[in-house]
Each structure stands twice: as structure tokens, then as C-alpha cells.
Amino acid sequence: MFLDRDGVINRALEHELRPYPPKNLAQFEIFPEVLAACARLRAAGFVLVVATNQPDVGRGTMSQQIVEEIHGYVLSHLPIDRIEVCYHAGRGMSDCNCRKPKPGMLLHAAREMGIDLGQSWMVGDRWRDVDCGQAAGCKTIFIDRGYAEELKVRPDFSVRDLGEAAELILNTTINNS
């Protein structure tokens, strides 16, 4: 199971209906439903991997140390198994296989951890997450935060938050067993 970070795990900072990552740990706020949702998914046997683009590092507007501090906090407060990060700048300034919407982070984690992508889910709040999950062969869940951007492909499901996504995943898994 793959989760985007900003907008899924934690509150994204918004400016003109566009999401931005927190600039430091003090701005990092885990959504209230996330701990319980992650705990339920882990108890059901899911491996939880965060896959996040952090292009501000590649653009020089945020230090990698701050991102790693935030990820240390995530790993110490949530039952997350692994965090995959793309630090590349994007916006035509870099070309890599790991920056979502490309599926490189999911493919890497799947190889390293023996994850069956066909049985996996990608949960995200932006078009890049949905496209990435579909490119990797995962089922996709879009958390609609009302941002001013359009989806490019249709997700398998749309929900309000990670708690609702976890409920959907657990019900779908139980009903398909």
C-alpha cells in the first residue's frame, strides 16, 4: 500500500487552492484520522510505504535535512514501513524515473520489499499520485482536497480522507477474499 505524504498523511499548506509542503517540522501536522487508519491497515497485513515528491530540495528552496527530520518524525509516530522520496526539481529542470507521475518510487519499493503491485493501492491527493499508481499497476484512491487542478485520469475511487480510504480498502479486501 502506497501513500502520498502532503495532503494524505499531513495537512498541506495551501496558497490559492494549490498545495505546498510544510517548510519545517513546526508546520507539519498529521491529520487526526491518520494514525488509526494506518494502524488498521497494518493490523490487516498491509505494508505501508510513503511515496513523496519533495522537489523543493532539488530547487534549493528547502534543505534535505528538514525533509529527513520530518520523515524521522513520521516514522516515529506512525506505523509506516518505508519512505521513498524523489528530491529532483521537476518543472523541466530534471528528468528521472522516480518523480511522480512516473512509477519509479513504487517500483523500487516493490522490488526491495517484495510487494505485489497488482494487489496494491496508491492513495494520493493530486493527479500525479493517481497517474503514478495506475502506471505501477495499483488500484488508486484519490483524496479530494478541492485543489485548483484537474485529474488527468480517473481514479478507481475518490474519498474525503485517509480514514475513509482505509475503510474502503479493508471492505474491498474482505469482500474479495
pLDDT digits (tens, 9 = 90+) for 135-173: 999 999 999 999 999 999 999 999 999 999 999 999 998
At the topology level, CATH places domain 2-175 in Rossmann fold (3.40.50)
CB–CB of 129/122 below 8 Å? yes
Cα distances (Å, whole numbers) of residue 20 to 16, 69, 124, 162? 10, 17, 14, 18
- Note the pTM of the prediction, 2 decimals: 0.95
Strand arrangement, sheet containing 139-143: 82-86, 49-53, 2-3, 121-124, 139-143, 157-159
Model confidence pLDDT, tens digit, residues 23-46: 999 999 999 999 999 999 999 999
* In the chain, where the domains are located: 2-175
Catalytic residues: 4, 6
